[in-house]
Structures are given as structure tokens and as C-alpha cells.
Structure 1
Amino acid sequence: MLTVSIAETADRIVVSVSGECDMSSSGGLASALDAAMESSLPVEVDLAELQFLDSSGIHVLVTAYHASQVRSATVYVTRAAGMVATVLELTGVGALLAPQPQGER
């Protein structure tokens, strides 16, 4: 089961993801990221509580990255661990969505 929550802070939107992101649940993450990117604030995708991420979840993250480029927005991933961090590293998506220093956003 995938759980996604969105919170706004003074300087960013935080999309917190927990559980398992697979083909049957990745639509929920896509919808949350689309909604979060409506703001002019940078979007942090907090993966600390995500335990599983398959190719459909990777697709959602890459799609969000491309959408952010079109919108001149910022989306980045934080706190991935374990298998999720490994998947992000092996696919190159971790580097693509790594937080950038404030001046480079």
C-alpha cells in the first residue's frame, strides 16, 4: 500500500511517500506530484518511509522531473534508503533528482 502526503513549508512543498510504489499504486504518487508542482515552491519528494519502488515509480519520478523542467520548477528526492536508494542509484534517477545548492535551482 502506498501513502502520499503533501505539506507546505515556508520554502518548499514536501511530498512524503511511504509504503510500496508499484504499478498498481504509482498513479497516486503521480497525482500528488502534479498537484505539488502547481505551486511556485520547490518540491521535495521525501522517500524515507518508502520500502519498495519499481519501474512504474521510477517513471513517475522521471516524468515529474521533465514536467518541472517545462514549468521552470524544481523537484528533488531526499532520504531514500535501502533498496529504494539502490534502485535510484542504479537507474541514475537519484543523480537526476539530487538536491541542488540553492543558487543552482
Structure 2
Amino acid sequence: MSVLSMSCRPVPAGALVTVSGELDATNADRLESAIRDAHRPGRSLILDLGELTFMDSSGLHVLLRAHDDVHDAGGSLRLAAVRDIPARILQITGVWDTLHIHACVEEAVGAAADALLDRLPDDVERL
């Protein structure tokens, strides 16, 4: 069995889930559950994949379902620090161009905050 670990914390525009280890058919359901638990409607969900060393098609499907579910709930899914094998899988499948992918967590958090501000009604005063 592959080792996958996750942690979640709030960020200003939503939630950040840090994922490390190997994501495959033996544990993809755990990530899917963590995503469901972390996401709030209308908010962004950021997945820090900087320590994710492997991902198979099961993991790819979790990301695609999460993208659709978060989008349908009025938020956005953002991936941060995608490297090596997971990055290659996203690129060769064409998914890289479909998802919001950022070089680092800070960039993803900033983009999520900007997107949230852009959705505010015009009559709401911005700080």
C-alpha cells in the first residue's frame, strides 16, 4: 500500500490541503474525502502538491472530480507546486491547461483571494 498523508488548514479565501506521498488507487478515496471535508461552497480549495511524488490515473480522476465539484459550488480548485510525475501526468493528459496551476502555495492563495474579491458585488466596499 502506498503512503499518502494530508493536512488541512484555513486560508483567507478558502482551505489549503497539503498532500504528500504517493496517490494511487489504494488511497485516492482518502484524498477525495479530505477534499469534501475541507471545501466550503463559494470558496477556493488549494491543493499543495509539492510533496506529492507519484500519482496514477485514480489520482487524476480525483482532481478532475474535485475541480468540477468545487466549480459547481461556486469556488475554484487551485493546484500549487506540482512537480515531477504528477506534473507529467497532468501535462500528457492535457489536464494541465484545464486546471488552475500555480508555481507555489503563496501564488495560489493570492490568486484565490483575488478571484474571491472579483466575485464581490460592486456595491460592497473593498478594503
How far residue 8 of structure 1 moved from its aligned partner, in angstroms, is 0.6
Q: Which stretch of structure 1 is more off in the superposition, 91-100 or 22-31?
A: 91-100
Provide, for residues 36-82 of structure 1, a one-character-per-residue CA deviation record: whole Å limited to 9, x for no partner.
22354311111000000000000000001111222111111110111
TM-score, normalising length: structure 2: 0.74
Instruction: Choose the corresponding residue for 2:94, options 73, 92, 95.
Output: 92
Partner of 1:45: 47
> Which one of 58, 61, 66 corresponds to residue 59 of structure 1?
61
Structure number with larger C-alpha Rg: 2
Structure 1 stretches lacking a partner, 5+ long? none
Counterpart for residue 33 of structure 1: 35
Is the contact made by 2:77 and 2:99 (CA closer than 8 Å) also made in structure 1?
A: yes
- SS of corresponding position for 1:80: coil
Aligned-residue identity in percent? 30
**Letter in structure 1 aligned against 2:60:** I
1:77·1:94 contact (CA, 8 Å) conserved in 2? Answer: no
Q: CA RMSD in A?
A: 1.9
In 2, are the aligned partners of 1:48 and 1:80 still within 8 Å (CA)? Answer: yes
Structure 2 runs not aligned, ≥5 long: 102-107, 120-127
Which residue matches 1:81?
83
What is the 5 A alignment of 1:11-22? 11-22=13-24
Q: Distance in 2 between matches of 1:5 and 1:35?
A: 11
State the 1:9 CA deviation. Answer: 1.8
Q: Is the 8 A contact 2:48 2:80 kept in 1?
A: yes
Give 1:11 deviation, angstroms. Answer: 2.7
Moved more, 4-13 or 46-55: 4-13
Equivalent position SS for 1:24: coil
